[in-house]
Structure 1
Amino acid sequence: MSFSRSAGASAPTPGSSPLLAPIKRRSFIKYAGATAGATALTLASCKKDDTTTALLDVGSGDVGVLNYAYALEQLESAFYTQVLAGAYFTSLAVGSAEYQLLSDLALHEKIHVDLLRTALTANSTPIKALSFDFSTISFSDRTTVTGADKMGVLNAAQMFEDLGVAAYNGAARFFSNVDYLGLAGKIVSVEARHAALLRDILVAGGASSLGNGFVGADVIDSSTTSATARMEKSLLPAAVLPKVNAYLATGSQLTAPSLV
């Protein structure tokens, strides 16, 4: 993983089986605990600007980075909340591999939201609870239907998890407190596991566009000479936020002018 401070669904038809491999729930869920013990972190004080603007400024310094991460986790958590209420998920057999996987991912993202909100609230004011727009995602389809204008559940989940990993990797350089860097490193390691599992499921189902799955060229720097060779790619906030804002409602869209 390239996380570094110095780095610059149509519902299944009868007889079909989307459950491509058994998943050991206990061994997977344990990674959620990687972040659960850090809720006592204290942040430096930060005075928030109450001026109403078209875009919400996440702020600057360590608080700005953690607000940025808090926004990303709110987005992912809201997405999985809708997944669990959607027609695809509710059609799955309770205890099946994908039922367990999506349930676990939803739990992990809620833990991340709660963790970051608690840390921010210690000595600062976190950004508000965001509102979302998932109108381009079909929560009834397992994967994206050919020719459709909406993404399926697993494709959207893979997109959000890949984006989250790249966003954490790209934001790491803005931390000044190594404790916060370590906290974010624990979270991104969980997000990377999410991305790898989803990619493996999609590739096993024939998603050739993902190449070699969790080591695909779209997420791994395939260069043999660059400083980040063989590491996960990273994206700066300026590249991430337009993608994030596409799923945020008016009044919840973000900017990060200090994180450049």
Structure 2
Amino acid sequence: MLSPKGMQRRKFLTLFAGTAAVAAIAGCSKDDSGDGGIYLGKDDIGILNYAYALEQLEAAFYTQVAMSFYSGVTANEQALLTDIRDHEIAHREFFKKALGTNAIPALEVNFSSINFSSRDSVLGTAKVFEDLGVSAYNGAGMLIKDPQYLLLAGKIVSVEARHAALVRDLINNGSFADNTVVDMNGLDKSNPPSVVLSAAAGFLKSKLNASGLPTS
């Protein structure tokens, strides 16, 4: 019998898997990676693969964190970070299923700069990933053409923002919405794919080719 937490995760996956987006994406060919790296695609397919790449990175990171928690981790921190891991895995699997044959392959990560036994290193990296993820979805929203995909992106970015706020407060209580991520108008900051992928590249062995992504 599933636990309440397990039931919630199943409900989450069922909700996303049941959307029209899962069945609607088809017919777009995927270019070979070639020397330019793994081609993300163009238009909405490209944006979805862009999001899929980021979710792969986050899921891999939190999976590694939960495999061997840092020294001095509290029971509360273990529970919270495990929940974040499960959310990121759910996001990753949603995009993989939705993209079908248009999905990019599994990416190779590079976490050599992270000390997984150190709380400061783990939470500092989590902060980078979560803030980057929120800014990535915010920056990609204007590039999405299909309103169904935009709705789904909005649902996912709200979860990512919850993660970002939580991680920030674990590091420094009360910093969940400081001026490094929220502007003077009270709005979350956004970044275009070029900025996000440049920041993420240091954590990836795989090279990504974003040449087909829309810019406006």
What is the TM-score with the length of structure 2 in the denominator? 0.88
Note the 1:246-257 alignment, pairs <5 A: 246-249=202-205, 252-257=206-211
**Residues 60 and 174 (structure 1), Cα distance of their counterparts in 2 relative to 1, 3 Å cut:** same
Q: Which has the higher helix share?
A: 2
Alpha-carbon distance in 2 for matches of 1:88, 1:159? 17
Does residue 138 of the first structure (1) align with residue 115 of the second (2)? yes
Alpha-carbon distance in 1 for matches of 2:157, 2:10? 11
One-letter amino acid of the counterpart of residue 161, structure 1? E
One-letter amino acid of the counterpart of residue 136, structure 2? A
Alpha-carbon distance in 1 for matches of 2:96, 2:27? 15
In structure 1, what is the equivalent of residue 56 of structure 2? Answer: 74
Give 1:33 deviation, angstroms. 5.1
In structure 2, what is the equivalent of residue 129 of structure 1? Answer: 106
Q: Over residues 90-147 of structure 1, what are the superposed CA-to-partner deviations in whole Å (9 max), with x where a residue is unaligned? A: x645xx21010011011000000111111101xx42001000000111100011xxxx
Does residue 220 of the first structure (1) align with residue 182 of the second (2)? yes
**Residues 125 and 218 (structure 1), Cα distance of their counterparts in 2 relative to 1, 3 Å cut:** same
Contact 1:241 1:255 survives alignment (8 Å): no
Give 1:84 deviation, angstroms. 1.1
What is the TM-score with the length of structure 1 in the denominator? 0.74
Contact 1:220 1:231 survives alignment (8 Å): yes
Counterpart secondary structure, 1:48: coil
Alpha-carbon distance in 1 for matches of 2:142, 2:79? 35
Note the 1:1-260 alignment, pairs <5 A: 36-40=14-18, 41=21, 42-88=24-70, 92=73, 96-121=75-100, 124-143=101-120, 152-204=121-173, 213-222=175-184, 229-249=185-205, 252-257=206-211, 258-260=213-215
How many equivalent residue pairs? 206
Counterpart secondary structure, 2:17: coil
Residue range with higher mean Cα deviation, 186-195 or 212-221: 212-221
**Residues 193 and 141 (structure 1), Cα distance of their counterparts in 2 relative to 1, 3 Å cut:** same
Give runs of ≥4 in structure 1 deviating > 2 Å. 29-36
One-letter amino acid of the counterpart of residue 256, structure 1? A
Identity rate, percent: 43
Counterpart secondary structure, 1:246: helix
One-letter amino acid of the counterpart of residue 218, structure 1? T
Q: Which runs of 5+ in 2 are unaligned?
A: none
Give 1:256 deviation, angstroms. 1.5
Contact 1:142 1:154 survives alignment (8 Å): yes
Q: Which runs of 5+ in 1 are unaligned?
A: 1-25, 144-151, 205-211, 223-228
Counterpart secondary structure, 1:38: helix
One-letter amino acid of the counterpart of residue 213, structure 1? S
Q: Over residues 10-55 of structure 1, what are the superposed CA-to-partner deviations in whole Å (9 max), with x where a residue is unaligned? A: xxxxxxxxxxxxxxxx79x959955641224221421111252232
**Residues 255 and 221 (structure 1), Cα distance of their counterparts in 2 relative to 1, 3 Å cut:** farther
- What is the alpha-carbon root mean square deviation over aligned residues? 2.1
Alpha-carbon distance in 1 for matches of 2:191, 2:41? 18
In structure 2, what is the equivalent of residue 8 of structure 1? Answer: none
Contact 2:32 2:39 survives alignment (8 Å): no
Counterpart secondary structure, 1:215: coil
One-letter amino acid of the counterpart of residue 233, structure 1? K
Alpha-carbon distance in 2 for matches of 1:34, 1:182? 15
Give 1:234 deviation, angstroms. 0.2
